[in-house]
Amino acid sequence: MTTKTLPWKCIVAISAVCLLGSGCAAFRISVKDKAPVGSQPLTAKYDQSDLLTLAKQACDELLAEFPAPGEDRPVIVEMGFQNRTKSHLDMKAMADTITTHMLNSRKVQIVDASLRDNLLKEQGYQLANCSPETRRQVGKQLGAKYMLTGALTEIETTSGRQVRVSKQQDVYYQLTVELTDLETGLVVVRKQPQRMREASKPIIGW
């Protein structure tokens, strides 16, 4: 009995030694750098590639028609982007990425509405505490001519019940961005870049 079971025990022992000798490489955490855009997506959901790609596309499409010929670097204020998806997404990151592209184009000027309270606070401090030759004058801020707003919409569809080994999922995102004339209320330009991604998940497995 002992002679018959010895080979099996030897195999187990040798396997254990090999596993320990390899430093349990199969169970180690692996971390590596990846390009933010162009990397293989892990899911069909919104990711950093969508943020960067949709923002760049939106900016390029807006600036293709704006500003009008002869209009020298109009002032724009960003007034928020709506999240119309089912997920919790950082829409401020989308707005910041779009306005950064627009600012770097040197075709427009941008005022940050979120900094107004801090600006007024600093101006008040300078007025009360700084020398006349170094304090900034009150009432010199530039008023915006146009307002930038937007919204991100999501539509998700999955395959119906049928005999198959995997479940198909399509996720569609549409980003709407528009510039509105603050004096007339007219929408000057509106663009809707979009993307659609498909994912396949095995019904049996991990």
Residue 9 maps to a domain = no
Q: How many domains does the chain divide into? A: 1
Does residue 4 form part of some domain?
no
In a domain, 27, yes or no: no
Domain that holds residue 140: 43-159+166-202
pLDDT string in tens for the chain (206-residue length)? 455 555 666 666 666 666 565 555 556 788 878 778 777 777 888 999 999 999 999 999 999 999 999 999 999 999 999 999 999 999 999 999 999 999 999 999 999 999 999 999 999 999 999 999 999 998 999 999 999 999 999 999 987 665 555 678 899 999 999 999 999 999 999 999 999 988 887 665 55
Residue 162: the pLDDT is: 58
Distance (Å, whole) CA 202 – CA 66: 47
Q: How many C-beta atoms lie closer than 10 Å to residue 111's C-beta?
A: 15
Predicted local distance difference test score (pLDDT) of residue 168: 85
DSSP per-residue string spanning 60-95: HHHHTT-SPTT--S-EEEEEEEEEESSS---HHHHH
CATH number at residue 102: 3.40.50
> In this structure, is residue 6 part of a structural domain?
no
Q: Is residue 28 part of a domain?
A: no
Three-class DSSP category at 24: coil
In a domain, 15, yes or no: no
What's the pLDDT score for residue 33?
Answer: 81
